[in-house]
Structure 1
Amino acid sequence: MKIIDHLLVNDDDTPVTFKATPNHGGIYTPQYLVMHYTAATTTLSTVSWFQSTLAKASAHLLIARDGTVTQFAPFNVITWHAGKSQWKGLVGLNQFSIGIEMVNGGRLTKSIGKWICPVDAKRVPDDEVVIAIHKNESSKAAWHDYTEKQLKAAIEISALLVKTYNLKDVVGHEDIAPIRKSDPGPAFPMASFKSKVMGRENDFDEDFVTSADVNIRAGAGTAFATVAPPVPGGTPVRVLKTNANWSFVEVLKSVNGIMDLEGWIASRFIVLEQGVNS
């Protein structure tokens, strides 16, 4: 993909779908990229909401669950995605960041044995549900998973934005407004996502821990056998490499009496160590 005149363009030079939002500010120079979930399960509801003046909210891009992209404003125009927020001494991240929304139900509830998105009351299939502890919380909850196509599109676009606008970092809404917001949540593989987007795929010097009890496998996928009992939440690990939504890790302490344990863990269950205690 390419960026031409602050608009996202496909490889065949056709622009992505553009739906102008009335909810925007003036011209600015972005410094950061902020990732969000929509807290709703359909693309149409978010597109309609961002085109309404009643919303008083918007973002630059929306990435659907099938990977399709909608743009709402040029990247050099302020959108209203961050609200009351601060990061690295900056207050009000709308005027300092590009916002990407991912179609995702966020935190889920259970009703009559079914997982439900509380915002749009849509059912979420069991195989799209992740049970995990949010890095700003202490209890397990159910979260809507992200799709492979969605994450692939987000990585490609985000890396392009970082390169084009020389962005300093990628953060979540939960980082810049931790009391109010929980997106993109623990189902989003922020550690590996950031490494790929910022061009640090082989640079894993930061300390990570598991965010929940998680299986460790012989290969990058659920089809591979587990190599040990589940690794408990809060276990320190070192990420050695990544493959799609999976990370090959070295477990940094004895687990269930096993030393020098290595294997593959779904990246969404790995968070920065400082995030667990924040």
Structure 2
Amino acid sequence: MSGFAAEHRGAEVRLSPNFGPRRNAMTPDCLILHYTGMETGLAAENWLCAPESEVSSHYLVHEDGRIVQMVRESDRAWHAGKGSWKDVPDVNSFSIGIEIVNCGPIAGFPPFPDVQIEAVVALSRDICDRWSIAPERVLAHSDVAPGRKIDPGERFPWAVLAANGVGHFVEPAAVRGGRFLAMGERGQPVEALQSMLSLYGYGLEINGFFDQTTRDVVEAFQRHFRPALVDGVADQSTIETLHRLLSALVSADS
């Protein structure tokens, strides 16, 4: 017995026991994308449905495009863990999670099959339409948990999703030489960088010191928006790409 009807057309249902009510009367206004990081899709599906794992996700998308729903969208799945966005903690209570079958680092970050990405696009669009989720609130797990998580990784095709109406993305500035900010630096330029990252949504203290947290956030930003080089160094390309993203948000709101 499945326990509920699938909310996305064509999805299968396999109920996970790992869920609960959303806290503080929150409703989902954010979509978080993950990779499974396990050897097989079946292993990931079994783990997300095992009581002892204490993890789950609303959806799992297999490599062949098959979609499995495990938790109702209105319920709080246990997919994001500790993190925040826009200074709001308990990401699980304001988000819907999609796990995408991919081995990640245990197999050298294999590419995501086209049929799988097509399914992710269709599912994401459906969720965003039904819950009125803004493009800039379609995020990576690494965005809400920098330094702790890296999924879905720098090989995830965010540009393809954006071209199909999912997520907020701009053409990243080309990697080139020039002034950069890195670990240990202090001063107003670091404070300005931290302020822009915080304004976009990342969780970090604006203290003018390029500390480990700042490096982790810069890496997370690069992994999503400037994947050509993920090194935690705020080079000219990284800062320019961040400017472009923030400018695009202002233009969309005006």
TM category, shorter: 0.5 to 0.7
Aligned to 2:159: 191
State whether residues 8 and 126 of structure 2, in contact with CA within 8 Å, keep that contact through their aligned partners in structure 1. no
More RCO (CA 8 Å, sep 6+): 2
Following superposition of structure 1 onto structure 2, how do residues 41-190 of structure 1 map, counting pairs within 5 Å? 41-108=39-106, 117=107, 142-168=108-134, 169-190=137-158
Q: Which residue type is aligned with residue 19 of structure 2?
A: H
Pick the structure with more helix per residue.
2
State whether residues 209 and 272 of structure 1, in contact with CA within 8 Å, keep that contact through their aligned partners in structure 2. no
State whether residues 32 and 171 of structure 1, in contact with CA within 8 Å, keep that contact through their aligned partners in structure 2. yes
Aligned to 1:265: none
State whether residues 65 and 147 of structure 1, in contact with CA within 8 Å, keep that contact through their aligned partners in structure 2. yes
State whether residues 42 and 103 of structure 1, in contact with CA within 8 Å, keep that contact through their aligned partners in structure 2. yes
Following superposition of structure 1 onto structure 2, how do residues 208-223 of structure 1 map, counting pairs within 5 Å? 208-209=172-173
Deviation at 1:171, TM superposition (A): 0.4
Q: State, as a whole percentage, how many aligned pairs show the same letter.
A: 30
Aligned to 1:272: 225
Give SS of 1:9's match: coil
Distance change (3 Å), C-alpha of 1:68 and 1:179: same
TM-score for both structures, normalised by structure 1: 0.58
Q: Which residue type is aligned with residue 162 of structure 1?
A: C
State whether residues 62 and 116 of structure 2, in contact with CA within 8 Å, keep that contact through their aligned partners in structure 1. yes
Q: Can you list the C-alpha shifts for 1:209-235, whole angstroms capped at 9, x where unaligned?
A: 46xxxxxxxxxxxxxxxxxxxxxxx25
State whether residues 162 and 197 of structure 1, in contact with CA within 8 Å, keep that contact through their aligned partners in structure 2. no
Q: Can you list the C-alpha shifts for 1:64-118, whole angstroms capped at 9, x where unaligned?
A: 000001000111111000000111121121001000000000113xxxxxxxx3x
- RMSD, aligned CA: 2.7
Spell out structure 1 runs of 4+ moving beyond 6 A. none
Give SS of 1:164's match: helix
Q: Distance in 2 between matches of 1:272 and 1:199?
A: 11
Deviation at 1:198, TM superposition (A): 3.5
State whether residues 138 and 167 of structure 2, in contact with CA within 8 Å, keep that contact through their aligned partners in structure 1. no
Q: Distance in 1 between matches of 2:49 and 2:225?
A: 36
Pick the structure with more strand per residue.
1
Aligned to 2:19: 24
Q: Can you list the C-alpha shifts for 1:180-228, whole angstroms capped at 9, x where unaligned?
A: 101000110123323523387xxx6x35046xxxxxxxxxxxxxxxxxx
Q: Distance in 2 between matches of 1:6 and 1:100?
A: 14
State whether residues 189 and 270 of structure 1, in contact with CA within 8 Å, keep that contact through their aligned partners in structure 2. no
Q: Distance in 2 between matches of 1:92 and 1:199?
A: 21
State whether residues 191 and 271 of structure 1, in contact with CA within 8 Å, keep that contact through their aligned partners in structure 2. no
State whether residues 208 and 270 of structure 1, in contact with CA within 8 Å, keep that contact through their aligned partners in structure 2. no
Q: Can you list the C-alpha shifts for 1:38-74, whole angstroms capped at 9, x where unaligned?
A: 0013221112111211111000000000000100011
Q: Which residue type is aligned with residue 23 of structure 1?
A: N
Deviation at 1:158, TM superposition (A): 0.3
Q: Distance in 2 between matches of 1:193 and 1:58?
A: 23
Aligned to 1:126: none
Q: Can you list the C-alpha shifts for 1:5-63, whole angstroms capped at 9, x where unaligned?
A: 772223xxxxx211111110115510100000000132211121112111110000000
Distance change (3 Å), C-alpha of 1:235 and 1:194: farther
Q: Distance in 1 between matches of 2:224 and 2:85?
A: 19
Give SS of 1:182's match: coil
Q: Distance in 1 between matches of 2:6 and 2:28?
A: 11
Q: Which residue type is aligned with residue 43 of structure 1?
A: G
State whether residues 5 and 13 of structure 2, in contact with CA within 8 Å, keep that contact through their aligned partners in structure 1. no
Distance change (3 Å), C-alpha of 1:95 and 1:172: same
